[in-house]
Amino acid sequence: MNIQEVKDYIENHKERFINELVELLKIPSVSADSAYDSETKRCANHVKQSLLDVGVDFAEVCPTAGHAIVYAEKINDPTKPTILVYGHYDVQPADPVSLWSSPPFDPVIKDGKIFARGSADDKGQFYMHVKAFEILSNLGELPCNVKFMIEGEEEVGSSNLGLFVKENKEKLKADVIVISDTSIIDNDTPSITVGLRGLSYVEVEVTGPSKDLHSGVYGGAVDNPVNVLCEMIASLKDENNAITVEGFYDKVEVVSDEDRAAMAEAPFNKQDYLDAVGVKATRTENGYSDREGTSIRPTLDVNGIWGGYIGEGAKTVLPSKAYAKISMRLVPHQEPDEITALFKSHFEKIAPPSVKVKVTAHHGGEPVVIPTDNPGYKAASRAMELTFGKKPIPERGGGSIPIVALFEKELGLKSILMGFGLDSDDIHSPDEHYGIFNYLKGIETIPYFHKFFEEESAK
């Protein structure tokens, strides 16, 4: 296998590669919304068929208590190392659909990008592995055995994948896991994600009077839960933009000055960053850069807040209840259950006696760090260096893929996070898109990951 053969194959088949992705993107596999369950199921079958089409030994749709997991494998030579590819075929809800420039499940190609929900997260990215496998098969070179595990519940917390992994350890036996579900710095600056943040997610309910009251008759004496919730939330950050939950930072890993200096080497254009998100300034925890704020430091963000009257016109009401959904992104060595417990007791403690509060935990996830001194990382680094012409920079990502920590625990395997997206792909947002350059570059790079993984494992 040489770079020209791979390039030629892609050049000769790229229209079809793009069309196949377009077909996959037309299926609205929204895992969070049961109205789409039959589409999500159809998507699983579609993924299974796409794997059979490229010559796996077998492929199956494995039912779970939730959405199915697609599993496939090609065991070419049991003496060779095995690569387990993980990805997700489920997508985030598309709403608010009115903010999309084109329908989310009717893919449009514009300015070298495919616009559709799931294009970058994660259909376009896991499908690169399917097409890279096609190339390897057709060039008659499979340096490694390959297993595919493509799930349908990543966007809703992967709650059934954990059980599947525990029950199928033998089947999932591999030497490395590779995941393309993250970003590179930019198209001229390849990077490999070496850390993901964890997550603690809570919903809070603040109750004041037992029912909605007249805000004139009672306002001024009976406390208002919406006001109280706002005060409580405001107090969760101090004047340094640090989180005030007691004990929150106790286990936070202190990153060395040397590592921070190395991270600061990565290119970052502040004005482009501001323009891309449409703000005039950022606000970080004192003493930390923007990039550090989104990688090595934990966060606390309100994801949604509601309560009281939000209909047309004005209604003078003193509401009975107020709610918020709050997420905390965690860094090593914070533990999600512990952080959730700390949040709960802090939140209960700061509530004034005029209200009652209830804190409910949602799914969480542990943070991860990926070492760079192993065959998987080295193979990914060599493959990207070859196809981008530049050595990739190891970089910590701000998002979460909670199942990565579980893979380590249950399978004893580190994951290699070799994603090809861009932070500007608008994942989870209206107008999500994936660059054709990125899609094809991934398809070009992955065959070399296989080749170099075999070489690095033999060393």
Question: With CB under 6 A as the contact rule, which of the stretches 95-103, 151-159, 243-251, 312-320 interacts with ligand BES?
Answer: 151-159
How many Å apart are CA 215 and CA 71, to the nearest integer? 58
Among the listed residues 73, 155, 366, 454, the single contact to ligand BES using CB under 6 A: 155
Q: Backbone phi, then psi, for 43, in 5-degree steps?
A: -65, -40
CA distances from residue 57 to 135, 261, 357 in whole angstroms, order as listed:
16, 47, 55
**Nearest CA-CA partner of 67 in 94, 27, 95, 103:** 27
Among the listed residues 183, 289, 294, 295, the single contact to ligand BES using CB under 6 A: 183
Residue among 381 and 400 whose Cβ is closer to ligand BES: 400
Among the listed residues 72, 199, 213, 229, the single contact to ligand BES using CB under 6 A: 199
Among the listed residues 73, 118, 121, 200, the single contact to ligand BES using CB under 6 A: 121
In angstroms, give the least distance from the CB of 55 to Mn ion. Answer: 26
| 394 contact choice in ligand BES, Mn ion, none (CB below 5 to 8 Å, kind-dependent) | none
How many Å apart are CA 422 and CA 159, to the nearest integer? 27
Q: Among residue numbers 391 through 430, which ones bind ligand BES (CB under 6 A)?
A: 397, 399-402
Q: Among residue numbers 176 through 205, which ones bind Mn ion (CB under 5 A)?
A: 181
Asked if 73 interacts with Mn ion (CB under 5 A), we say: no
CA 348 to chain centroid, in Å, comes to 31
CA distances from residue 97 to 41, 91, 114, 149, 401 in whole angstroms, order as listed:
22, 14, 17, 30, 25
| 195 contact choice in Mn ion, ligand BES, none (CB below 5 to 8 Å, kind-dependent) | none
Cβ atoms of 165 and 407 within 8 Å: the answer is yes
In angstroms, give the least distance from the CB of 106 to ligand BES. Answer: 22
CB-based closest residue to ligand BES: 399
Cis peptide before 333 (omega within 30 of 0): yes
Please give the full DSSP string across 240-258, using - where no structure is assigned.
Answer: TS-B-STTTTTT-----HH
Cβ atoms of 453 and 376 within 8 Å: the answer is yes
| 402 contact choice in ligand BES, Mn ion, none (CB below 5 to 8 Å, kind-dependent) | ligand BES
In angstroms, give the least distance from the CB of 170 to Mn ion. Answer: 27
Residues at the contact surface with Mn ion, assessed by CB under 5 A: 121-122, 181
Residues at the contact surface with ligand BES, assessed by CB under 6 A: 121-122, 154-155, 157, 181-183, 196, 199, 363, 365, 397, 399-402
